[in-house]
């Protein structure tokens, strides 16, 4: 009689007197998730435990985290670009007053980061 694991396509190999299941990670488990994906993973593990367990056991966790990471990164870049345009921060300012340009861009990047974290990572 086959075990439930074998009925669902699993196989074993023998080591000493033990049968060890042949387990491998799927390709999705090897995805690079980036900083936003890692931050969201920590959030899920701490505050959304059931969601984390469901994604993990279904094999969809790393694909989900990779998608969140990509969305967050794209959103960050879009916000920075839009705010720079709205405030008239140009390459001309960068040439004429690099310190002022750096100050303004750093402020925009910090605001964009806070927005992305609030909207996508910690929600």
- The one-digit pLDDT tens for each residue of the chain (123 residues) are 777 777 878 888 888 888 888 876 555 555 688 999 999 999 999 999 999 999 998 889 999 999 999 999 999 999 999 999 999 999 999 999 999 999 999 999 999 999 999 999 998
Closest by CA position to 44, among listed 23, 69, 27: 69
| pLDDT score, position 89 | 95
| pLDDT score, position 2 | 79
Q: Report if pTM > 0.75.
A: no
| Cα separation, 39 vs 90, whole angstroms | 32
């Amino acid at each position: 009689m086959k075990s439930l694991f074998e009925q669902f396509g699993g196989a074993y190999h023998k080591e000493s007197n033990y049968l060890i299941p042949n387990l491998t990670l799927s390709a999705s488990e090897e995805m690079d998730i980036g900083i936003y994906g890692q931050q969201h993973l920590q959030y899920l593990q701490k505050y959304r435990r059931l969601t984390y367990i469901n994604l993990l056991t279904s094999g969809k966790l790393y694909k989900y985290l990779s998608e969140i990471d990509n969305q967050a990164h794209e959103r960050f870049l879009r916000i920075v670009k839009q705010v720079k345009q709205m405030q008239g921060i140009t390459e001309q300012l960068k040439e004429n007053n690099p310190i002022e340009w750096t100050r303004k861009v750093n402020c925009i990047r910090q605001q964009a980061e806070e927005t992305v974290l609030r909207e996508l990572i910690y929600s």
